Structure formats: structure tokens, C-alpha cells
Structure 1
Amino acid sequence: MHTGLRLAFMALCLGIMAYTLDISHIRQSLSAPSPAWLLLALLLTLPQVFLSAWRWQLTTHALGLSLSLRRAVSEYYIATFLNQLLPGGVGGDVARAWRHGHRQASRTRAFHAVMIERASGQLALLLIAGIMLATHPVVLTSFHRSEPSGTTGQILLAGLAGIGSLLLFRTSTRKALARFGHHIALSLCGSHLWIKQLSGSLVIVATYIGAYACCARALGSTLDSLTLLALIPPVLMAMALPLSIGGWGVREGAAALIWASAGLSSSEGVAISVAYGATVLVSSLPGAIVMLMGRQNTPPHQQTSSHRAGEAAVEQDI
């Protein structure tokens, strides 16, 4: 999807929420968060990066590529930071794939490794979401219990998400997905690899859910833990759609819809989503430091060529 369309989509989602939801309630919820809960949410982001970098290293090694854990962590921090700033939320992953492929014999395998590594996490998230819906189907409650004032906005947001998904599907490269099927088998289905991939991804997803739940507690949410565990995975899944910048708009729209579908306050769901988005942004800031340190140690001519190549890759939405 073109960058301009992503920006327009994000602005439209936020505009609909601003028009249909109780902004004063959202502002009040965000006015005095609990520092202790926010700190715990930030601490949970640390194992996320290290475990994700380990998962990436595991995937690259399965595809016959070299990658040290130290470099994987550094590159992952940079990618996390860039994902918060670049349209689509995947620009940082494109950049780390390109930078890794630049040092390898096969750039295609480097890109496939990143795609597979991210897909592994999404599969684990889908598994957890399915288990929670089956055992605690609070999200499947009918929409008539939602806030009357937000019904129209919720319907519009659902329609926008559907349209955005269709546009993304139309612009995706089906042939590229078909080409790396063999690499998926090598890195996800190989002997003992699937156990490592699944266990690592489940722990990573657990830290994401835990950080989101901490943000809910920081805002004084009184929802029981089981209900939170059922509500959070679908919101995180919506963030995977590269339809905005840093998930903003898409994440809040999904939270409004999911909280409403459970007969809860959409405004509360959006407030928690905003707190989580801010926490993720803060947690990504070490990536800026790593990136600046790397630029200081890189000759100017290499900085220019890397920057141009990275821009070209992001523009093509690889």
C-alpha cells in the first residue's frame, strides 16, 4: 500500500474515534498512570528483543546464513525503532533484512529469514488467541451490549480495516510468498527446530501480552486477568497489518471494537491501547542509540550507500 494511503487510513481511523468516543474519558484515564505498572511493562520489553533476536538467529542459521547473537540484538533494536517511525510498521524489518543480506551470499534468504521469523511470532499469537477464545469467549459477545454512542464509529472502523486488508492483499506479491515455501520447511519444520521456534515465540508473545496487561493495570483497569488475556491477543494481531505508522489508529480501532464486542467501554480500550503504544515507542528508543553509534563507526561513503539502498527497499515494500 502506498505511504499516502497508509497515512490517510491512520488519520481516518483516529478521526472516527475522536468523533464517536468519549475523548474526555480517554484523557482522564491517561492523566495519572501508575509508574510502577508502566515500569514493569517496559521491563517486559527487554526479553522481547533478546528472544526475538535469538529466534531470528535460529532462523538464519537454519537457512545456512551466519549471524551472531550480538549483531542480531543490535539489528533488532534498530528495526524496532524504525518500525515505530516508518509507514507500514515493517520498514525496520526490511532494513535489517537488507543489512544482513548485504553481508551474506544470498540476499533472498536473508529477507526470507526475517519474514519467517516474524511469521513464527504471528502463528504463536494466533494459537494463543484461539485458545483464549475457546476457553473464555468474552470477545464473541454480541455487539448490542456495546456503548450506543460508539456503534456507528465501530462499524466504520471495521469496514475500514476490511478495506485496508483487501488493498494490502492486492498489492502483496503472491509469487514471493510461494518462493520461500522451502525455506519455511527448513527453518520451522526441521528436526527439533519447530519446538525451539514455537517455545521461543510463545514466550515472546507472553511478554507482549504481559506488557499490554501492565498498561491496563497502570490506567486502573479492574478487568479480571482472564478477560484481559482474552481481549489483548486480537488487538496485537490487528497491529500486524501494515496499514499505518507504528500501529497507531489500527491498534486503537481494534481495541475499541474488541472492548465493545465484550460489552465493555470502548474508551477504556482505546486509552489502554494508547498507553501501550507509548510504552512500545519508549522501549524502542535504545534502537536510536544503537543506530547512531553504528553510523559513527561507519565511513561516510558506506553510510550514504546503505541509506539509499534501505530507502529503496522500504519504498518497494519488500
Structure 2
Amino acid sequence: MKLTPNAKRYLKIALTVALLAALLFSLDVSRFAAAIFQVDPGWMLLGIALCFLFVAARMLKWIFLARANGLQAPPLELVRAMMFALALGIVTPGRVGEVAAIAPFTPADRPRAILAYVFDRIGELATVLLFCAPTAFVFLPGWGLLIGLGLCACSVGIVLAVQVPWLRRQIAARLPQRTPARLREVLGSVIAVPAAYWLISLVTYLITYASVAAFIAGSQPIDSALALLLLPPVTLSNLVTITIGGLGLREGLAALLGPAGGVLPEVAAAAFFLSFFWTRLVPGLLGIGWNLTRSFRLQQRGE
């Protein structure tokens, strides 16, 4: 039975509530609350600053990739669209709402812009997989080396599958006949990816892992670098969009993996919740407010 969009939305809300309830039931609630509201002020401010720096770096990465492909739009408009896209990404299935980031481009450029934006998201996945490889080497004895090498191969393969035109044409040729022409047009677009893009991507994710580490350090000392190796696998849970904004799933995985690196479950879960709050929820709400204010002003001017 195929669910209606409203049914899917209600199911997602129910699952979010259920997972959050299960998480709180399994944790020491007072310790979890302390890890959110009683973090050392210095570490908290550092973590928040790094969260905002991550958002800025992510936007810079997208603008850099767009300009490398001849996609031009006012930088301020791109920032406004990306902030709004953060909010839509939280509430839409599969975070498809993030595609709103291409709104400032002209209709003629949007097929290429969609491909560039999809590549940017896939590029982020490839980056996270690379960061997960050392975790496999360290925490998975026996099979760790093989799995780590597999993650590296997947990272490279994902990039090639999107970046190499011949591979994209092969994918397009095997799509069902009823596939929308728009999708075929997107697959046929040409994309350029400068080497500097990958450097920006690596730095961007180093920043977000540093922000989570700061939130952890504000609640307990980080005695081992092993704790930092567990951060990339937790971010992979963002691929699973069965809850609103990944809430409950991401924090639950952090609580499960945290002790392996010497981090209390409550502290690990709280650190990733704070990361979500400052990197997605707050910028997303600011984006909504910015867009509503802009729309109101345009209406006042009669535009």
C-alpha cells in the first residue's frame, strides 16, 4: 500500500517521537541535560563558533563549485537560498528540500545547477566515507583493513560515477522509458570539479568534527584520540532520513558508539544534538525569517 505524503509525514513525526523517547529512556536524563545546558562556557562558545564556521564553509564550497561551472548569481542571494534550504532539508523526505539552494539561478541554468548541487551532496558523502576509513582500521580487527580500503574505493567510485560523463550516459541509457526528460537532461549536463573543491570539502568536515569535539570536551575530558575517530561514522546516519532532521537516530548511534572511545553515552548524544541545533536548526530558522522578511518587503513594494 502506497502512503500519501501526509501519512508519510505523520509517520515520520511519530517515529521521531518514538526514537527520542527510547533514547531518553535508555540514558541518564539528568546527565544528558547537563551535557546540553551545563557545558563549560568556553568550550560551548568554541563549539558554536565552529558550527557557524562549518555552515559558512559549506556555503563557500557550494558557491565555489557553482562558479567553477559558470553558474552565476549574487552571493547574498545564494546564501539566503542555502539557509532556507537547510530548513526545508529538515522537514522534507530525503532532504530534497535542500535543492531550493539553486533558486537564484536562471531557469536555463537549473539543470546544470541541480547536477552540481547533487554532486556537492555526493561529494560530501565521499568525504565522510574517507574519514570513516581510519575508524574501520582501528576499531574493526581482522576485517578493518579490508573494510577501510573498501570505504576508500567506494569514495572514489561515487565521485567517478557522478563526475565522468561516460558513466552518467551509461546510467541515463539504462533508465526506464518513463523517466522524466528533466532527469535525463540533468544527467546529460557537464560538470567541472576543481581540485580545490576537495580541499574545501575536507576542511569543512574537519571543522564540523572539531565542533562536536568541543561540545564533548565541555562536558568531559577527551582522554584519547580514539573518541574523535568515532565521529565520522555517526555523521553517516544523516543519510537515513526516517526521522525529522535525523533526530533520535543520530544521537542514539552516538550514544552507542561513544563508550568505545571513552565518551559517556549521554555526552556523545548531547554533543551531536548540539551540533544539529547550531548547524541546521538555528541557520534554518534564520533562513526562514530572512525569506519571510524579504517576501513581505517585496509585497509592500508591489513587486
TM-score class, shorter: 0.7 to 0.9
Match of 2:233 in 1: 234
Q: 1:61 to 1:6 in 2, by over 3 A?
A: same
Partners of 2:283 and 2:48 in 1: CA distance:
6
Partners of 2:264 and 2:47 in 1: CA distance:
22
Which stretch shows the higher mean deviation, 123-132 or 279-288? 279-288
- 1:292 offset after TM fit, Å? 3.0
Q: Could you tell me which of 61, 65, 90 is aligned with 1:59? A: 65
Match of 2:133 in 1: 130
Match of 2:292 in 1: 292
Given that residues 216 and 272 in structure 1 are in contact (C-alpha distance below 8 angstroms), is that contact kept between their aligned partners in structure 2? yes
Given that residues 82 and 101 in structure 2 are in contact (C-alpha distance below 8 angstroms), is that contact kept between their aligned partners in structure 1? yes
Partners of 1:115 and 1:210 in 2: CA distance:
25
RMSD: 3.3
Partners of 1:235 and 1:8 in 2: CA distance:
22
Deviations 1:15-42 (A, max 9, x none): 3223333323323433411222121122
Match of 1:203 in 2: 203
Partners of 1:211 and 1:89 in 2: CA distance:
25
Partners of 1:69 and 1:114 in 2: CA distance:
16
**SS of alignment partner, residue 43 of structure 1:** helix
- 1:181 offset after TM fit, Å? 5.1
Deviations 1:132-185 (A, max 9, x none): 443xx24x48xxxxxxxxxxxxxxxxxxxxxxxxxxxxxxx99688875555x7
Given that residues 12 and 243 in structure 2 are in contact (C-alpha distance below 8 angstroms), is that contact kept between their aligned partners in structure 1? yes
- 1:246 offset after TM fit, Å? 2.1
Given that residues 88 and 97 in structure 2 are in contact (C-alpha distance below 8 angstroms), is that contact kept between their aligned partners in structure 1? yes
Deviations 1:206-237 (A, max 9, x none): 1111111111122x222235223211111112
TM-score normalized with structure 1 length = 0.69
Partners of 2:223 and 2:216 in 1: CA distance:
11
- 1:49 offset after TM fit, Å? 2.9
Gaps of 5+ in 1: 142-172, 304-318
Match of 1:105 in 2: 108
Counterpart residue identity of residue 120, structure 2: E
Match of 1:93 in 2: 98
Match of 1:253 in 2: 252
Match of 1:116 in 2: 119
Given that residues 82 and 100 in structure 2 are in contact (C-alpha distance below 8 angstroms), is that contact kept between their aligned partners in structure 1? no
Counterpart residue identity of residue 79, structure 2: V
Equivalence map 1:1-318=2 (5 Å) = 2-84=8-90, 86-88=91-93, 90=95, 92-97=97-102, 99-100=103-104, 103-134=106-137, 137-138=138-139, 140=140, 180=186, 183=189, 186-188=191-193, 193=194, 195-218=195-218, 220-224=219-223, 226-260=225-259, 262=261, 265-280=264-279, 281-299=281-299
- 1:127 offset after TM fit, Å? 1.0
Counterpart residue identity of residue 251, structure 2: E
Given that residues 83 and 283 in structure 2 are in contact (C-alpha distance below 8 angstroms), is that contact kept between their aligned partners in structure 1? no
Determine what percentage of the aligned residue pairs are the same residue. Answer: 24
TM-score normalized with structure 2 length = 0.72
- 1:284 offset after TM fit, Å? 4.2
Deviations 1:214-263 (A, max 9, x none): 11122x22223522321111111212322222221121122122225557
